[in-house]
Amino acid sequence: MTGPTIVALGDSLTQGYGLMEQDGFVPQLRAWLAENGVDEVRVVNAGVSGDTTAGGLSRVAWTLTPQVDAMIVALGGNDMLRGTDPAVTRANIDGILAEADKAGVQVLLVGMQAPGNYGPEYKRDFEAIWPDMAEKYDTLLAPSFFVGFGEDAELGQMQQYFQPDGIHPNAEGVEKVVEGLGPYVLELIARIPDTGD
């Protein structure tokens, strides 16, 4: 019996930018799952550095092959960095989840917080996308890719977990990311219907 296949659709954070391959998000997630008794699962890295929600939407249909049972969607950071209109990001996430729905694929949607530098309206509209879409499509929702860092993590303490650019986590940082997201992925796996093969 082969276990389920999960695709991680994302940007450089998913892809493992600046890291040795084994230190990236997907390999560390695989290892974490194995340590937690799930070693029959296949996790596919569909992270593309610099990708936006528009990029994710353009490739989601061919990413969701019949072998795929579940998908982690971690996109939106590059939309935010570019100041993309939240309505555009919302429509793209909607489109990605509609494709997953059509393919009968379970989804873990990873939410995102916006900094205040685009103003309170942008922040409000952007951050509302993920809970709204999770509710619309009945997907699992993790509050953030960095949920493992805790809500009260001090920026000064955080720097040790990041590469010099201050955006991408280092190997230790990814370990904390995986510890935070791992339980959500276990829940995602539990939602996959048992095909009994």
The residues that are catalytic are 12, 165, 168
Helix axes 25-35, 171-191, angle to 10 degrees: 60
Bridge partner residues of 110 (DSSP): 142
Integer Rg of the chain from CA:
16
CB neighbours (10 Å) of residue 192? 16
What is the secondary structure of the chain as a DSSP string?
----EEEEEESHHHHTTTS-GGGSHHHHHHHHHHHTT--S-EEEEEE-TT--HHHHHHHHHHH--TT--EEEEE--HHHHHHT--HHHHHHHHHHHHHHHHHHT-EEEEE-----GGG-HHHHHHHHHHHHHHHHHHT-EEES-TTGGG-TT--HHHHGGGB-TTSSSB-HHHHHHHHHHHHHHHHHHHHHS-----
